[in-house]
């Protein structure tokens, strides 16, 4: 981990892969990740952790399957949302977005339970930034 400031714009400019988060720093036992997203991710669940989203650019939609039924939240640029642990969800960015995620180190981008992983989804625990 660097002891120097990190520009999120520079971090995002350093890669082009979609749905493939880069770890920009860590806070205690959590990764701070940035990702470029476009189109649909996949339905998945994180059994043991919440998932925090901050939209840096564009718009992100998150479809949720909850006890009361399905719903979708819309996050414009500058918005935050936390998906509670155990909630099935699917991020969607019809026109593309840049996001920041806060997750425990080692958390898989496709959760603990998920649909079949499409070829465009990088199912990892995040890549080193540079």
Please state which CATH number belongs to domain 8-119: 2.60.120.10
Burial class (CB in 10 A: 0-12, 13-18, 19+), 13: exposed
Q: Has this prediction a pTM greater than 0.85?
A: yes
Distance CA(121)–CA(112), nearest Å, equals: 15
Q: Express each pLDDT in 67-116 by its tens digit.
A: 999 999 999 999 999 999 999 999 999 999 999 999 999 998 877 777 77
- Asked whether the predicted pLDDT for residue 25 surpasses 90, the reply is yes
Q: What is the pLDDT of residue 1?
A: 60
Q: What is the mean pLDDT of the chain?
A: 92
Q: Residues of the chain with pLDDT > 70: what percent?
A: 98
Q: What is the pLDDT of residue 108?
A: 84
Domain ranges of the chain: 8-119
Q: What is the pLDDT of residue 109?
A: 83
- Asked whether the predicted pLDDT for residue 46 surpasses 70, the reply is yes
Burial class (CB in 10 A: 0-12, 13-18, 19+), 6: middle
DSSP letter at 114 equals E
Q: What is the pLDDT of residue 129?
A: 84
Q: Which residue has better confidence, 120 or 12?
A: 12
């Amino acid at each position: 981990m660097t002891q120097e400031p990190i520009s999120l714009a520079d971090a995002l400019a350093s890669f082009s892969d979609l749905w493939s988060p880069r770890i920009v720093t860590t806070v205690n036992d959590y990764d701070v990740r940035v990702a470029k997203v476009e189109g649909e991710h996949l339905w998945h669940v994180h059994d043991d952790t919440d998932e925090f989203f901050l939209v840096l650019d564009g718009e992100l939609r998150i479809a949720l399957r909850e006890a009361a039924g399905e719903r979708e939240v819309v996050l414009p640029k500058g918005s935050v949302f936390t998906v509670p642990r155990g909630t099935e969800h699917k991020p969607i960015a019809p026109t593309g977005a840049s996001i920041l995620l806060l997750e425990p180190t080692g958390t898989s981008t496709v959760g603990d339970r998920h649909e079949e992983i499409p070829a465009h989804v990088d199912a990892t625990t995040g890549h080193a930034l540079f």
